[in-house]
Structure 1
Amino acid sequence: MDTSWRSRLTSLLLAVWSYIRSAPGTYVWLAVLFVTTVVMHHVSPSQLDDLLGERSTNLHNLSEDPVRALIRSALWISGGGWLFYAFLYTVFHATAERWLGTLRWLTVVLIGHVVATYISEGVLLWAIRHGRAPETSVDTLDVGVSYGLAVVEAVLTYFLVFRWRFFYGFCVLGFYGLALVHGRTFTDVGHFTAVLLGFACYPLTRGRPGHLDPAAVFSRAVRRISRDG
């Protein structure tokens, strides 16, 4: 490897490390998810069901020890591979944490995770009591990080310059709204609730510096490619 390529590689690695350090909460969370994902791939299906059942934010666990259930459920991925979530965390969570700061970002995530969980499980409880869902639904598996991701996707609406906010916000609302209309499960309710909560987190975004203009970013990228080419 010649000196120029070594220099470029070093610069790239330093840039990646700098980006990771700028969003510590996001990447510590991802590191934990990596460990738990490895664990999931090294247990039998029956053991996995028991493992996730103990960490589920279902009605049974929320009634027994809600704080423990809420924390543990956010440390496991219920579907999709870790690399997929690493991509989503880098695009959404890391961007939000760098913009809002770790404390405000974490506040948004907790609002989405906790409130959306209780509302979705409340809908499920209503369904059980009115005969629309079986009694066994109190132990329905509900683990994962998707409510926290949905709330952050929504709050990033305010990271964009004004003329892009309505388009992006409409896309986020439409994506989860269509899932709710077609799926109509308690998790669909939770995701849609998390999006609404993200929009409601506007006060936490006030005073934060900088707003992204996608058109300007695209234009700069095109100019740079043309210049380098």
Structure 2
Amino acid sequence: MPGLAPASYLPGGDLADALRGAAGWTARTSVCLRFLARVRIAPLYVLIIVVINVVLNHAVSAETRTQVVLANSTNVDNLQHHRIWTLVTSAFVLDERAGVGAMVSLLLLLSVAEVLWGWRRLLVVFFLSNAVASCLVYGLLLVGVRGNWLGGAVTMASDVGTSYGSHAVGGALALTLPLRARRFLVPLAVLVVVVPLLDGATFTDTGHLLAVLLGFAAGWQMRRRPLAGCRLRRTLRCPGRTVAYSFDDVTQARAALLTVLRLHEHRQARLDDAVAACSDQADRIHVRETRDMSAIDGALAGGTWGVLLGTFVGIPLIGLVIGAVGIATVARRRDAGLNDTTVERTMRALPTGRAALLLLADPAGEPALTRALARAGGTPVPEVAREPGAARPDRDGSPGGERT
């Protein structure tokens, strides 16, 4: 029996559900307008950029404008002197006049992302990718200058604008849209940033490539670990309760996982973790988690924060390596959300070949979860509890099974 394949969760499922339920173009237009009313951050950000650009181009002298641009650039000189705030402020300053077409395109891109992901994810993807891409470019330029491969003038170059963040958002969108769109948009996103590198590449072009790759990683994480951004309820007055539902086969469990993620997205149930598991004829347990980090997830997260922290002390690339290795090691040993032992005990109590969906959920949402999962073929497992002295299964499948 094959392992439990990742569920094809896509952010923005509530919009897709609403569009499928709308009959005719008029109804679909109404749905789109209703969802666009959620947009807040995208127009505010674009408005701030336009206002700053107008002030710099019409209200101050050219000398002052040049000083402001250089003071907010993520160049080698600024970051070497620990002007870390430029990792944020550089995204609000443009090196040239703001074009109407460019601003409208930026507004549309960020608005689509905000509708599909929500404003929190948009802020994280845009500004964190802008900062990380800037740190990586800084690290590469630092190596080039110290190795005498690049001239010293590059340390004072202006590096401001929205391009790193917007390229990252575009890459993340390409990875979080349905498969048919991904087949076209992912190669297009790569082509857009690779072609300039083939003809007189600049460090900004390299930054665009890095930003798109960061966007791909962010979009991949949104699909693989959709509950990773949720806060565990351990410190709240009403902690989450672990419930489980059994299914005849792995296909039903995958469909049920998507169902509960949609309920969470629609705010009809509050989930802190969701784990789909199945056992094969060899009595091995295969698990699909939505919160817990694998070593790859840990390496991505650790590398991101490592390069940022490394920039503080002038070693961003070394920080990247140390962070990636360190957090990847921790991720292999740390068990977030539902306990591995709980998953193993639940599966051992079910007949071989059965699948299960375990949820760490707010008790108030259990009726909605039970109704939805009953329609998907789920049967509640009477009691799910972790035995206090039970050993936690290893990640390689011993004794509890393997993770795939």
Query: Which bin holds the TM-score, normalised by the shorter protein?
Result: 0.7 to 0.9
From 182, 192, 204, give the equivalent of 2:222. 204
Amino acid at match of 1:74: A
Shifted more, 145-154 versus 46-55: the winner is: 46-55
Q: Distance in 2 between matches of 1:101 and 1:82?
A: 27
Q: CA deviation at 1:18?
A: 7.5
Q: Distance in 2 between matches of 1:65 and 1:36?
A: 24
TM-score when normalising by structure 2: 0.45
Stretches (4+) displaced over 6 A: 15-18
Which residue number in structure 2 is paired with residue 188 of structure 1? 205
Given that residues 133 and 164 in structure 2 are in contact (C-alpha distance below 8 angstroms), is that contact kept between their aligned partners in structure 1? yes
Q: RMSD over aligned Cα, in angstroms?
A: 2.4
Whether 2:180 is the aligned partner of 1:163: answer yes
Q: CA deviation at 1:111?
A: 2.7
TM-score when normalising by structure 1: 0.77
Given that residues 88 and 127 in structure 2 are in contact (C-alpha distance below 8 angstroms), is that contact kept between their aligned partners in structure 1? no
- % identical aligned pairs: 28
Given that residues 113 and 194 in structure 1 are in contact (C-alpha distance below 8 angstroms), is that contact kept between their aligned partners in structure 2? yes
Given that residues 90 and 161 in structure 2 are in contact (C-alpha distance below 8 angstroms), is that contact kept between their aligned partners in structure 1? yes
Q: Distance in 2 between matches of 1:84 and 1:66?
A: 32
Q: CA deviation at 1:143?
A: 0.8
Q: CA deviation at 1:121?
A: 1.6
Q: Distance in 2 between matches of 1:17 and 1:27?
A: 16
Given that residues 154 and 198 in structure 1 are in contact (C-alpha distance below 8 angstroms), is that contact kept between their aligned partners in structure 2? yes
Q: CA deviation at 1:154?
A: 0.7
Structure number with higher strand proportion: 2
Whether 2:52 is the aligned partner of 1:36: answer yes
Q: Distance in 2 between matches of 1:17 and 1:65?
A: 44
Q: CA deviation at 1:68?
A: 1.2
* Largest Rg, 1 or 2: 2
- Greater length-normalized contact order (CA 8 Å, ≥ 6 residues apart): 1
- Count residues in correspondence: 196
Structure number with higher helix proportion: 1
Given that residues 33 and 82 in structure 1 are in contact (C-alpha distance below 8 angstroms), is that contact kept between their aligned partners in structure 2? no
Q: CA deviation at 1:205?
A: 4.2
Q: CA deviation at 1:17?
A: 10
From 16, 21, 25, give the equivalent of 2:41. 25
From 155, 161, 164, give the equivalent of 1:138. 155
Q: CA deviation at 1:131?
A: 1.6
Q: CA deviation at 1:140?
A: 1.0
Given that residues 134 and 207 in structure 2 are in contact (C-alpha distance below 8 angstroms), is that contact kept between their aligned partners in structure 1? yes
Amino acid at match of 1:26: A
Which residue number in structure 2 is paired with residue 67 of structure 1? 84
